[in-house]
Amino acid sequence: MIVGGNETVLVQGITGKQGTFWAERMRDYGTRIVGGVNPKKAGSEHIGLPVWGSAKEAAASQPIDVSVLFIPPMAVKAAVLDAVEAGVGTVVVLTEHIPSHDVMHFLAAAREAGTCVIGPNTAGLVTPGQSFVGFMPAFNERIFRPGRVGVISRSGSLGTLIALNLVQGGHGISAFIGIGGDPILGTTTRDALVRLDQDPNTDAVVIVGEIGGAMEEEAADYAHGMSKPMAAFIAGAASPPGKKMGHAGAIVMGDKGTYGAKREALEAAGVRVVPSPSMIADALGEAMGAV
């Protein structure tokens, strides 16, 4: 789930407006975009790249490491299954509002095949100075300056704000992993934390969480055994119980998934939790100094 500059990347839905725009931005930044998929335009070229009828056809021409989907909700299931059957190692699902039963179906197929799914409803992945996959402003060095801090976020916009504050505070980013804001995800906060803990280019980790679900609490269980310093911001401190807030996954039921429960779990694991994104750089600096 950390994409450097060597992986081959396929864009499913490359001929659409968003697929075209972001394929060009990713390629300009250094991402190895090898082509795209549109069943109605197979055999043609688009922005100087080949267009195949399916991911399986693309994989028959050359190995595909990563596929990113600019696909409408009702067509995502078939597109992910196509990528999984093509043997793609990582599938990045940007789309939101996908039917839940479709998500469960393609996540089960991906798990059985050993394919890593990022999302749905993710803004993507960034490895500053090397590549990005999705629709993040990786090309803005005020936000994504290369460095040694890994960032995990359920929100693209909040993750961007945290990265900006880290850079302004003198830190740099080793990798940004946007896991997505839906209640059913292919990659959890804990999954991403394990990956960053294993990453030799990451010295510290920041978690950007939200109310709802139990992903931050599960990540806190893993954080207990980590030596890398950590800081976190959890959005939704003032939200009322039982009300859905923004992301589909940000809903609190009873005492499950509350801001207080997440903060308590993270702080018990030694993570410095801040009440405002503007405080994240100083908190992380203190945590790094304390190690």
Residue the block writes with tokens 């995990």: 152
| Integer Cα distance of 286 and 282 in angstroms | 6
Nearest to 76 by CA among 104, 56, 51, 103: 103
Q: For the chain, which domains are there?
A: 9-118 (3.40.50.720), 140-288 (3.40.50.261)
SS3 (DSSP) at 159: helix
What are the residue ranges of helices labelled H in 114-209? Answer: 156-168, 189-198
Whole-model pTM?
A: 0.93
Mean pLDDT, to the nearest integer, of 84-96?
97
224 among known catalytic residues? no
252 has a pLDDT exceeding 90: no
Catalytic residue among 101, 105, 224, 247: 247
pLDDT digits (tens, 9 = 90+) for 177-197: 999 988 899 999 999 999 999
Q: Average model confidence (pLDDT) for the chain?
A: 93
| Integer Cα distance of 224 and 236 in angstroms | 24
Say which residues have a Cβ less than 8 Å from residue 103's Cβ, sequence separation at least 6. 77, 120, 182, 184
Asked whether the beta carbons of 176 and 122 are under 8 A apart, the reply is no
Would you place residue 239 in the very low, low, confident or very high pLDDT band (cuts 50, 70, 90)?
confident
141 has a pLDDT exceeding 60: yes
